[in-house]
Amino acid sequence: MSSENTSYTQLRTLMREAGTLGSVNALLAWDQETFMPSGGADARAEQRSMIATMVHERRTSARVGELIVACEHDASLPETERANVREMRRDYDLLTKLPASLVGEIASTATKAQEAWKDARQNSDFATFRPWLEKMMELARQKAACYGTPAGGEPYDALLEEYEPGARAAELEKVFTPLASELSALIAKIGASGKTERLAIKPPSIDASKQHAFGQFLLTSMGFDMNSGRLDTTAHPFCEGLGPGDTRLTTRYREDEFGGAMYGTLHEMGHGLYEQGLPKMERYGEPLGEAISLGIHESQSRMWENLVGRSRAFWMWAQPNASKMMSAWFGTQSVDALYSMSNVVKPSYIRVEADEATYNLHILLRFTLERALLKGDLSVAELPGAWNSMFETLFGLRVPDDRRGCLQDVHWSCALIGYFPTYSLGNLYAAQFFETARAAMPDLDVRFARGDFAPLLGWLRTNIHQHGRRYRAGELCERVTGKKLDSGALLRYLKGKAAEVYGV
Ligand code: ZN
């Protein structure tokens, strides 16, 4: 790999160009969500669509295909670079397997299906959404057929490839099912303790500007580089890794509920720390400079939000600072009270409002049902009934209407079938990684209590961030933790907390 003009260097140059154009599009998207006046919407859609087409053409050109083949035959490439080529091949195949006509039909159907979904949810009227969901499922089946079912797998696996490369539905089921049955039992015990009302103390109203200043303080204290990132306000919080040295976070503030913004900021920060830890400058546009999967990305956000941000050690450090910067009320509360307040477990109908323990039950429900819909084992007409009966089994609650049942999420209307499992994978990976980090650094809690988060971030940088997509998620998990992903670490963590907070 000595001369400047090998196939591999040419390929890397083309990937860097596509990555650069992709960053331009990401910046346009970020601006649209944050500062763009609404009058700019039509032109912005045209701009983004044009650049997206240019990126797609660059990444799927015949030249890129030829160079990948040449690199696959280049025995002189070191192992790391071969992993880069392996992932470029994967991306190229995924991008070129779908005919443009199907991509277009999915996009235009999704636009209309989302409109129908909004009205249907508002009116809790499943019948008007039903034909659109049938259409989206049919398109998902066509998409899965184009990608091809992996050997020994099922069509759902093909859809998983877009979000969680290498994941298989049957394997997920083996991890999710025991997790759900243990969690259902734990949640029932927590409910029976009758302590939730007392633990759910209500903080006072806090100015958004004070919450924002505290959020920025958390970011800098935990290692987010503000010279390479920023925090703004949007209706729907997100993290956008625009490119090397530029990671944008957003959050939203409610004065009567500081926890939403604080935990939202910690969540997006976790995504942002991962983005900042990827070797993006050297690997701009290449797989080795990118995140492995949505599940691994989510493991980073959930770790900082939950395993760190909802710990007692976090509150030992955060309490005096919150008291100084947000409200003297924090100083009047014990660390135990703040810790309990952040870990209240209460079954509810809505996934996005769910606590750490019940969240995974929401995901198991969606994963099971969308998999059955795709297979054809469940018809769309049967969905509300199947949802409500499974919900009652898992949560012990009767769903009052479809608005709070099967119509609550946007995903199925915008073709995101196979996406839900990544949320639970995030929780599972986070717990398994964190358990390993804690075993390697037994003083982590003592450090957190002093506001020292650098050892954890350093560990994540070394073990996870720096590799980009060198390993697949399952392989990374085995390398880092010494075993395959299972539900053990997450259950130990949630049960330990329930014992401390609820005494169950
Ligand atoms: Zn997230």
Strand order in the sheet with 229-233: 229-233, 246-251, 239-243
Q: Is 268 a catalytic residue?
A: yes
- For residue 251, report the distance from its CA to the centre of ligand 1, in Å: 12
- For residue 426, report the distance from its CA to the centre of ligand 1, in Å: 9
257-313 pLDDT, tens per residue? 999 999 999 999 999 999 999 999 999 999 999 999 999 999 999 999 999 999 999
349 three-class SS: coil
- For residue 236, report the distance from its CA to the centre of ligand 1, in Å: 11
Does the pLDDT of residue 1 top 90, yes or no? no
Taking residues 4-25, what's their average pLDDT?
94
Please give the C-alpha separations between residue 436 and each of 208, 307, 422, 433, 482, in angstroms, as whole numbers.
37, 13, 21, 5, 9
- For residue 76, report the distance from its CA to the centre of ligand 1, in Å: 39
Burial class (CB in 10 A: 0-12, 13-18, 19+), 292: buried
d(CA 124, CA 99): 35
Confirm if 307 and 492 have CB atoms less than 8 A apart: no
Does the pLDDT of residue 410 top 90, yes or no? yes
440-497 pLDDT, tens per residue? 999 999 999 999 999 999 999 999 999 999 999 999 999 999 999 999 999 999 999 9
**Can you state the angle between helices 7-34 and 79-97, rounded to 10 degrees?**
60
- For residue 396, report the distance from its CA to the centre of ligand 1, in Å: 27
- For residue 268, report the distance from its CA to the centre of ligand 1, in Å: 6
* Residue of 268, 290, 305, 370 marked catalytic: 268
- For residue 267, report the distance from its CA to the centre of ligand 1, in Å: 6
Confirm if 145 and 154 have CB atoms less than 8 A apart: no
- For residue 77, report the distance from its CA to the centre of ligand 1, in Å: 35
- Cα–Cα–Cα angle for 431, 346, 396, rounded to 5 degrees: 105
Taking residues 380-384, what's their average pLDDT?
98
Taking residues 231-260, what's their average pLDDT?
95
* Residue 144: predicted pLDDT: 97
- For residue 475, report the distance from its CA to the centre of ligand 1, in Å: 22
Confirm if 67 and 89 have CB atoms less than 8 A apart: no
Confirm if 496 and 343 have CB atoms less than 8 A apart: no
- For residue 164, report the distance from its CA to the centre of ligand 1, in Å: 14
- For residue 199, report the distance from its CA to the centre of ligand 1, in Å: 27
pTM attached to this predicted model = 0.96
199 three-class SS: helix
Confirm if 225 and 276 have CB atoms less than 8 A apart: yes
d(CA 357, CA 281): 38
* Residue 4: predicted pLDDT: 61
Percent of the chain at pLDDT above 90? 95
Taking residues 67-90, what's their average pLDDT?
97
Does the pLDDT of residue 3 top 70, yes or no? no
- For residue 294, report the distance from its CA to the centre of ligand 1, in Å: 8
Close Cβ partners of 417 (under 8 Å, ≥ 6 residues apart):
136, 137, 140, 159, 370, 374, 411
* Residue 5: predicted pLDDT: 75
Q: What is the mean pLDDT of the chain?
A: 96
pLDDT band at 138 (very low <50, low <70, confident <90, very high): very high
* Residue 100: predicted pLDDT: 87
Does the pLDDT of residue 174 top 60, yes or no? yes
- For residue 67, report the distance from its CA to the centre of ligand 1, in Å: 35
* Residue 470: predicted pLDDT: 98
The token pair at 336 is 């135990």
* Residue 2: predicted pLDDT: 47
